[in-house]
């Protein structure tokens, strides 16, 4: 009898799969902003009108100026009267001239002519001053940007395959006593 025994070959396979590792860093923007400002300073408007010179030209003076003017005018008229009376007395005392002094003095007193003038008043303008108003100051704003770039890092390994023989193939044939065949 013949008996055949066969052993198949066996292989082993070690596999390492490829690995991919991706790391990302997001980009960032840092914004610092200083707002623009508008400053408005407002003071109430005050209009001052000084009409004193205009009113004085029309005879409307304050009491102090009115009293001073009256006193000056009275003093001046008194001095004129004293001077005129002294001159008339001197003329009367000079009898040697032979003139009729009293008649001449009376004639002079009644022959005085008054002068009339017409004018538009007031001649001066009022003084006008304005105080206060609006003051506007503008301050510019600023913007600072800091940008950091993002990044992508990729790490990869190659796949590996290792094939090896774990069992060799073989064939054994056994025959009775008379046949001996070996491979």
Do 132 and 43 share a structural domain?
A: yes
Question: Using one digit for the tens of pLDDT, what is the confidence trace for 135-172?
Answer: 899 988 898 989 999 899 999 999 999 999 999 999 98
Do 161 and 85 share a structural domain?
A: no
- How many whole angstroms separate alpha carbon 145 and alpha carbon 56? 70
Do 128 and 49 share a structural domain?
A: yes
- Which whole number is the average pLDDT over 24-45? 90
Tokens 């390492």 belong to 16
- How many whole angstroms separate alpha carbon 35 and alpha carbon 142? 7
Boundaries of domain holding 45 = 37-58+121-139
Do 97 and 183 share a structural domain?
A: no
Do 90 and 11 share a structural domain?
A: no
Do 95 and 175 share a structural domain?
A: no
Do 3 and 83 share a structural domain?
A: no
Q: How many domains does the chain have?
A: 3
Do 53 and 126 share a structural domain?
A: yes
More confident residue, 91 or 82: 82
Do 88 and 45 share a structural domain?
A: no
Do 64 and 102 share a structural domain?
A: yes
Question: Using one digit for the tens of pLDDT, what is the confidence trace for 66-88?
Answer: 788 888 989 999 998 899 888 88
Question: Quick one: three-class SS letters along 72-94?
Answer: HHHHHHHHHHHHHHHHHHHHHHC
Do 27 and 72 share a structural domain?
A: no
Question: Quick one: three-class SS letters along 104-173?
Answer: HHHHHHHCCCCCCCCCCCCCCCCEEEEEEEEEEEEECCEEEEEEECCEEEEEEECCEEEEEEEECCEEEE
pTM, 2 dp: 0.36
For residue 1, what pLDDT is reported?
A: 66
For residue 85, what pLDDT is reported?
A: 86
Query: Is pLDDT at 24 greater than 90 in this prediction?
Result: yes
Please provide the average confidence, as pLDDT, over all residues in the chain. Answer: 85
- How many whole angstroms separate alpha carbon 125 and alpha carbon 180? 155
- How many whole angstroms separate alpha carbon 103 and alpha carbon 109? 10
Do 41 and 7 share a structural domain?
A: no
């Amino acid at each position: 009898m013949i008996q055949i025994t066969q052993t198949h070959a066996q292989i082993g396979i070690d596999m390492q799969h490829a690995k991919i590792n991706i790391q990302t860093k997001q980009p960032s923007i840092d914004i610092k902003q200083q707002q623009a400002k508008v400053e408005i300073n407002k003071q109430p408007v005050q209009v001052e009108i000084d009409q004193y010179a205009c009113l004085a030209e029309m005879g409307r003076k304050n009491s102090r100026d009115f009293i001073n003017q009256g006193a000056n005018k009275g003093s001046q008229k008194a001095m004129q009267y004293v001077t005129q009376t002294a001159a008339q007395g001197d003329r009367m005392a000079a009898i040697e001239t032979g003139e009729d002094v009293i008649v001449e003095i009376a004639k002079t007193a009644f022959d005085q002519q008054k002068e009339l003038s017409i004018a538009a008043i007031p001649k001066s303008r009022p003084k006008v001053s304005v105080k206060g108003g609006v003051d506007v100051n503008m301050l510019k704003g600023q913007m600072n940007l800091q940008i950091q770039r993002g990044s992508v890092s990729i790490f990869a390994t190659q796949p590996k395959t290792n094939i090896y023989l774990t069992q060799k193939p073989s064939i054994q044939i056994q025959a009775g006593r008379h046949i001996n065949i070996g491979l």
